[in-house]
Amino acid sequence: MAVYLITYDLSSDDKDYTSLYSEIEKLGDAKRILKSVWLVNVLDKNANQICEILRKVLEDHDLLYVVKNDHVDRQGWMHSSNWKWLEHKI
């Protein structure tokens, strides 16, 4: 089990991206921490597999980045509930 950070830039303002959000939530325990950034506790997939799943619901010009998040070196400014969620998962 690992926590992955998923972030994206969506090219279309008028497309319904509900399917993207749904696919992210299906990956595992998911928390949206910023407008286009999620933390997801994933049981059995790596970054490449996650990208393959999500690319199927994105447009050709949408951008996507997935990286395993660890507790070794990280810092940021976000809601305390997001930090608590992350500390509990890692």
Residue 30: CATH number of its domain: 3.30.70.240
With a pLDDT cut of 70, the percent of the chain lying above it is 92
- Integer angstrom CA distances of residue 59 from 14, 18, 56, 63: 12, 13, 8, 9
In single-letter form, the type of residue at position 75 comes to Q
Q: What is the pLDDT of residue 77?
A: 73
Average pLDDT score over the chain: 88
Query: Looking at residues 70-80, what average pLDDT do you find?
Result: 71
Q: How far apart are CA 21 and CA 57, in angstroms?
A: 10
Name the domain count of the chain.
1
Q: What is the pLDDT of residue 12?
A: 83
Q: How far apart are CA 25 and CA 63, in angstroms?
A: 18
| Domain, as residue range, for 74 | 2-89
Model confidence at 84, in pLDDT bands (50, 70, 90)?
Answer: confident
Helix (H, G, I), strand (E, B), or coil: what is residue 64? strand
pTM: 0.82
